[in-house]
Structures are given as C-alpha cells and as structure tokens.
C-alpha cells in the first residue's frame, strides 16, 4: 500500500491497525533501568502516607513526583528562568553555599 492510500484511510478514521507491524513497537524514552536509592526513615514514612492517601504504591508516587519535577525544570530552562528551590522538609539541614568563601589576603 502506498503512503498516500494509508494516510487517506487514517484521515477517514478507518481501522489501520491490521496494516501495521506492532510486534517490535516501542515507546521512545521508556526503557527502564533499575536504581537503588537510600532514603531517610522519615522520608519513607511520608512517601508511604501520601501513596496510601492517593491509593498508589510508593514506587509510583516517587516516579510521578520525579517526572513532574523534571518536566518543571525542563519547562523553566526553555522559558529562560530558573526553578524555585523545593521546600525543605522538617528536620533536614540544607547547605546554603556550595563553595567556601574566599579569604582575603
């Protein structure tokens, strides 16, 4: 079948699934890679509470939140802005400077 005929069928809303070989179809950027991350106990408890409240697994809530954060970062880069810092959870100390101050001679 020529591409024009295929496009015509698609545009008309005809079923074209039989014309496609989807045995090797894959979603791009969806390859999975296993990672291990150590979280403090308070963070696990908070994740479990939120996952239970929403009705999903801990892994699902972590994936969704990370995906949202990465999408926000990408959107802010495109817009030319910088993303605001995430709120600091209770009991977590945050370092405000990356590098020590230079001492004057």
Q: For residue range 90-100, what is the model confidence (pLDDT) as tens digits? A: 655 555 544 45
The predicted pLDDT at position 99 comes to 47
Cα separation, 43 vs 45, in Å, equals: 5
How would DSSP label each residue in 39-100?
A: --HHHHHHHHHHHHHHTS-HHHHHHHHHHHHHHHHHHHHHHT--PPPPPPPTT------SSP
Residue 44: band (very low, low, confident or very high) from pLDDT cuts 50, 70, 90: very high
Check whether 1 has a pLDDT greater than 90. Answer: no
Angle between helices 58-79 and 41-54 (to 10 degrees): 90
C-alpha distances (whole Å) from 48 to each of 27, 39, 43, 71 are 29, 12, 8, 23
Cα separation, 46 vs 40, in Å, equals: 10
Q: Does the pTM exceed 0.75?
A: no
Check whether 77 has a pLDDT greater than 50. Answer: yes
- Give pLDDT tens digits for 20-43: 888 877 777 777 889 999 999 999
Cβ proximity of 61 and 54 under 8 Å: yes
- Kindly list the domain boundaries of the chain, sorted by start residue: 37-79
């Amino acid at each position: 079948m020529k591409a024009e005929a295929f496009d015509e069928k698609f545009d008309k809303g005809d079923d074209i699934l039989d014309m496609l070989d989807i045995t090797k179809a894959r979603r791009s950027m969806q390859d999975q890679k296993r990672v291990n991350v150590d979280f403090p106990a308070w963070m696990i408890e908070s994740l479990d509470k939120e996952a239970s409240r929403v009705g999903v697994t801990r892994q699902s809530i972590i994936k969704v939140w990370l995906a949202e954060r990465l999408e926000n970062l990408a959107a802010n880069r495109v817009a030319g802005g910088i993303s605001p810092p995430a709120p600091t959870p209770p009991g977590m100390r945050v370092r405000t400077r990356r590098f020590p101050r230079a001492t004057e001679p």
